[in-house]
Amino acid sequence: MKPTELQIRNTIQDIKKRLKDPLMDKPANKPVKEGYTEIVNILVEGRKPMKVSISCLRYAVGPLPFWVLIIM
């Protein structure tokens, strides 16, 4: 099922809010921050998941958030 425009906007807002967290600026969180930033770009540009390079997510530690899994 394709997400609605409202769901996409809400997801972008949630991710941007998370990116503002001061902990995101720690060196250990750099790959996570890059992944979140790429997800925002994917959603804003409306790119299709199979055409997206998600290599920046390969360093994510622990389970990915549900919205990342949906996009992938």
- Average pLDDT over the chain, rounded to whole? 76
- pLDDT given at position 62: 55
Claim: this prediction has a pTM higher than 0.75: no
- CB-based contact 31:56 (threshold 8 Å): yes
Q: Using alpha carbons only, give the angle 35, 12, 49 rounded to the nearest 5 degrees.
A: 55
The domain ranges of the chain are 5-71
